[in-house]
């Protein structure tokens, strides 16, 4: 199959101590697939759940429910453990009223899957390289540790050679192996992070905003390097960014998230030319477009209000509190992601 990663109805809630119910509803019912060798871009404002989704796919966060299939193997499957109940709730200091509340229900435990082989195949490159590299370890030790965990080198010599090879792959000097992370610039640290991810010969890499903590002047170098690596090693990327202008050049397809839900997904070109979800339209209106034909027809739309809290997300369409087209239906019914043109998916009642 040409699909490497498939996610069905994936949901991730973070339990909040002392709070009843599901807690922070960070990722809600997301379904998507990633083809072998492609880059799927994932965008949305901070707090929209894109990083949580990336980490949940890798099972760095244990999912709450849904299904994850990697290369044809189900690596996670669990029923949704909540049900809606109508209850009397009391607002702080206000009167009580009826509301639908999610209540935990008993479901069988998810089957345990040995993740070790997948931990090698699926890697992550973090946003902040300085925080993700252990300051007490040399660069050689950091990369060597990844090799050791998965027992990838038979001899000491092989290990040393592989570390040197990885450093030169990411454009660093092989003598850098004996230095510590703080001796490097942000861009060089990110190269070390990339070398560490590549050390274990992965197939799939979640690039979690890998350039947003870097100087603008070196961002494109790192992006180009990631693209070269993809070509050379046949990698598949989930590339997370808060800015469409970053992902649109490197992504084959782009998914847009809002408050934990996937609202639109299409080929990169199609999404840029013809966004159909109201939220994507506002996101795109904020990005400068070089094509005068497009920019003339595109007015900047500014959203009113802040993103609501994922602890208490709006009912129905989660975007309804800020959407200029919201109707009564939007407040009540959750719009499902549907294919409106070949490969172009969106979740909005307006589209039918």
Residues that bind ligand SF4 (CB under 6 A): 278, 317, 319-320, 323, 325-326, 330, 335, 348-350
- Residue 198's nearest CA partner among 152, 130, 156 is 152
If the CB atoms of residues 193 and 278 are measured against ligand SF4, the closer one turns out to be 278
Q: What is the DSSP string of 238-268?
A: EEEES-HHHHHHH-SEEEEEETTEEEEEEEH
The CA distances from residue 71 to 35, 75, 171, in Å, are 10, 10, 31
Distance from the first to the final alpha carbon of the chain: 31
Residue 261, Cα to own-chain centre: how many angstroms?
12
171 class by beta-carbon count within 10 Å (0-12 exposed, 13-18 middle, 19+ buried): middle
If the CB atoms of residues 256 and 348 are measured against ligand SF4, the closer one turns out to be 348
- Residue 197's nearest CA partner among 134, 119, 117 is 119
DSSP 3-state of 170? coil
CB 321 to ligand SF4: min, Å: 8
The CA distances from residue 302 to 115, 254, 291, in Å, are 44, 22, 21
Q: Are strands 344-346 and 65-70 parallel, antiparallel or unpaired?
A: unpaired
Instruction: Judge contact between 250 and 38, C-beta under 8 A.
Output: no
Instruction: At 296, list the tokens.
Output: 């003339």
Question: Given CA atoms 142, 146, 149, 151 in this order, what sign does their dihedral have?
Answer: negative
């Amino acid at each position: 199959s040409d699909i490497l990663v498939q996610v069905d109805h994936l949901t991730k809630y973070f339990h909040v101590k002392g709070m009843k119910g599901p807690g922070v509803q960070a990722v809600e019912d997301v379904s998507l697939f990633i083809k072998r060798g492609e880059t799927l871009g994932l965008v949305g404002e901070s707090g929209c759940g894109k990083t949580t989704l990336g980490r949940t796919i890798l099972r760095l966060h244990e999912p709450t429910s849904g299904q994850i299939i990697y290369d044809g193997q189900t690596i996670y499957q669990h029923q949704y453990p909540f049900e809606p109940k109508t209850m009397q709730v009391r607002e702080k200091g206000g009167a009580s009223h009826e509301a639908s509340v999610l209540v935990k229900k008993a479901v069988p435990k998810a089957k345990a899957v040995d993740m070790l082989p997948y931990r090698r195949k699926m890697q992550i490159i973090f946003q902040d390289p300085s925080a993700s590299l252990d300051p007490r370890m040399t660069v050689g030790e950091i990369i060597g540790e990844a090799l050791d965990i998965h027992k990838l080198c038979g001899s000491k010599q092989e290990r040393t050679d592989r570390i040197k090879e990885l450093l030169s792959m990411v454009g660093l000097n092989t003598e850098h192996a004996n230095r510590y992370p703080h001796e490097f610039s942000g861009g060089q640290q990110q190269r070390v992070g990339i070398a560490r991810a590549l050390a274990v010969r992965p197939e799939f890499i979640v690039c979690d905003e890998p350039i947003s903590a870097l100087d603008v002047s070196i961002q494109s170098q790192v992006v180009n390097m990631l693209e070269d690596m993809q070509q050379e090693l046949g990698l598949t990327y989930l590339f997370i960014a808060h800015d469409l202008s970053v992902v649109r050049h490197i992504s084959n397809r782009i998914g847009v998230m809002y408050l934990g839900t996937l609202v639109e997904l299409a080929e990169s070109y199609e999404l840029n030319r013809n966004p159909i979800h109201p939220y994507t339209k506002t996101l795109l209106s904020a990005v400068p477009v070089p094509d005068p034909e497009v920019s003339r027809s595109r007015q900047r739309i500014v959203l009113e209000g802040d993103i609501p809290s994922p602890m208490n997300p709006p009912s129905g369409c989660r975007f309804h509190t800020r959407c200029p087209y919201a109707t009564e239906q939007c407040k009540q019914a959750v719009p499902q992601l549907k294919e409106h043109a070949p490969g172009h998916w969106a979740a909005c009642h307006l589209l039918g």
